[in-house]
Amino acid sequence: MKAHLVRQKNIAEKISPEVAISNWKDWKWQIRHCVNDIDTFETLLDIKFDPEERKSLEETLEKFPLSITPYYLSLIQADDLKNDPIFMQAFPSPSELILSKDDMHDPLSEDSDSPVPGITHRYPDRVLFHISNVCSMYCRHCTRKRKVGDVDSVPGKEEVQKGLDYIANHPEVRDVLLSGGDPFMLSDEYLDWILTELRAIPHVEVIRIGSRMPVVLPYRITDELVNVLKKHHPVWVNTHFNHPREVTKSSREALRKLADAGIPLGNQTVLLSGVNDCYRILKRLFHKLVENRVRPYYLYQCDLSEGLTHFRTSVGKGIEIMEHLVGHTSGFAIPTYVIDAPEGGGKIPILPTYMISRSTNRVILRNYEGVITSYKEPEDYKPVYCSRECDDCSLQLKLDDASEYKSVGIAKLLVDHDETLSLVPGETERLERRDSEG
């Protein structure tokens, strides 16, 4: 018998000798038997922490609780526990109590960008909709760590309705990202209701669901769930694999079901010190993902939430990893490396520098091998002047309301029809002087 199957069997028998392995693939059984305390963890893995360590672990749990599905627990290899990537993502470390002076309570300002409970509206055309406050496993690197275990509940229909109303009243929202907690903690019926209500809003073009279930509890991806999802297409699912060891037979099966139902799959990885901060590990992971029809979407720089200090890498590490991917492997196996800016600035992509110089009609580029090359730009390219009147334009997209479109940020400085010449920070001494003298 394979090592991981032996571990599964041992764990299942210790949890409940009578039912054991036959229940293993029942996701509700898994949820009922999530490990929430150190004693059970020790028993199931046949290990013992020393008393001092134990004390600091207990202290950590008081602030940041523990929950591991038996399935995810069975992926831990206890012979090198401290370096085990599964263990590190699932089991608390006393380092979580170390507060760095740069840590922030809500680094992404999700609470302040929230017009109604459950909705974070940050970007012009899409919203994050938190429809679950619960997870089967509490990832130790959770960006919403401040909330983990707080309100262990799923918002009722009345509360969800407020979010739905917000979306219905905002015709600019064309993309709704269901998040949480984990949306797949909801029952199939409840999800079906939410998806039906969202689909009834004409301007909602795509629905995305962010869930770690394919990784931490793949048995949640049942035929019944998939049948619910595919009724509401286009539905995209983004999941969260961080290490190739998480790609198991069971998780592959979950991904297959989703992909076979026509659901485009993406993956978000968090760059984590000691877990996956190695280009070989990540390249292996991304290859395994595309083999299973999952497109690596984002590689996140670990953000500034409290309790994550020990997981953070330098940004240089992320750039080094991108350097080892771009050109070296299939473009679709390479995620976009992003930093989610503090205070709600949103995701900012980071790449090594490829354009090293330019003249009026040439760009000088370097490739992944170090070849320095020049690209000659056309002499006679005439960009189309945009007055925002599609009727006056030869390009074929006849928008009625083009003149109402507002340009934002750097794009605003680039468009023809806007006379703005600078974006100026609000509080500079120069401007204060101007005000006092004017």
Ligand X SMILES: *Cc1c(COP(=O)(O)O)cnc(C)c1O
Residues 6+ apart with CB under 8 A from 33: 15, 16, 70
278 is in an annotated binding site: no
Stretch that binds ligand X, among 69-77, 119-127, 300-308, 388-396 (CB under 6 A): 119-127
Q: Does position 119 bind ligand X by CB under 6 A?
A: no
147 CB neighbour count, 10 Å cutoff: 16
Read off the tokens for 58: 């207990």
368 binds ligand X (CB under 6 A): no
Exactly one of 7, 33, 126, 288 binds ligand X (CB under 6 A); which one?
126
What is the closest distance, in whole angstroms, from the C-beta atom of residue 88 to ligand X in the complex? 24
Position 60 contacts ligand X (CB under 6 A) = no
4 binds ligand X, rule: CB under 6 A? no
- 382 included as an active-site residue: no
Q: Which is nearer to ligand X, 75 or 127 (CB)?
A: 127
| 120 touches ligand X by CB under 6 A | yes
Which of 14, 54, 63, 122 forms a contact with ligand X (CB under 6 A)? 122
Of 92 and 335, which has the nearer Cβ to ligand X? 335
Choices 30-38, 115-123, 130-138, 316-324; region in contact with ligand X by CB under 6 A = 115-123
Active site annotation includes 139: yes
Token pair belonging to 219: 């048995």
Nearest approach, Cβ of 208 to ligand X (angstroms)? 8
Please confirm, yes or no, whether 393 is among the known catalytic residues. Answer: no
144 labelled catalytic: yes
301 contributes a contact to ligand X by CB under 6 A: no
Q: Which stretch binds ligand X (CB under 6 A): 52-60, 116-124, 146-154, 414-422?
A: 116-124
Nearest distance from C-beta of residue 361 to ligand X, angstroms: 34
The annotation status of 393 as a binding-site residue, yes or no, is: no
172-191 residues near ligand X, rule: CB under 6 A: 177
- Select from 6-14, 40-48, 123-131, 380-388 the region that touches ligand X (CB under 6 A): 123-131
Q: Does 9 bind ligand X (CB under 6 A)?
A: no
Q: Which is nearer to ligand X, 70 or 107 (CB)?
A: 107
280 is an active site residue: no
| Nearer CB in complex with ligand X: 84/110 | 110
Q: Is 103 a catalytic residue?
A: no
- 34 assigned to a ligand binding site: no
Three-state DSSP string of the chain: CCHHHHHHHHHHHHHCCCCHHHHCCCHHHHHHCCECCHHHHHHHHCCCCCHHHHHHHHHHHHHCCCCECHHHHCCCCHHHHHHCHHHHHHCCCHHHHCCCCCCECCCCCCCCCCCCCCEEEEECCEEEEECCCCCCCCCCCCCCHHHCCCCCCCCCHHHHHHHHHHHHCCCCCCEEEEECCCHHHCCHHHHHHHHHHHHCCCCCCEEEEECCHHHHCHHHCCHHHHHHHHCCCCEEEEECCCCHHHCCHHHHHHHHHHHHCCCCEEEEEEECCCCCCCHHHHHHHHHHHHHCCEEEEEEEECCCECCCHHHCCCHHHHHHHHHHHECCECHHHCCEEEEEEHHHCEEEECCCCCEEEECCCEEEEECCCCCEEEEECCCCCCCCCCCCCHHHCCCCCCCCCHHHCCCCCHHHHHCCCCCCCCCCCCCCHHHHHHHHHC
Q: Which of residues 132-171 bind ligand X (CB under 6 A)?
A: none
Active site residue 340: yes
Q: Which of 230, 317, 347, 366 does the annotation list as catalytic?
A: 347
Residue type, 306: E
Binding site for ligand X (CB under 6 A): 120, 122-123, 126, 128, 177, 347
Residues annotated in a binding site for [4Fe-4S] cluster: 135, 139, 142
* Enzyme catalytic residues: 122-123, 126, 135, 139, 142, 144, 303, 340, 347
Residues annotated in a binding site: 135, 139, 142
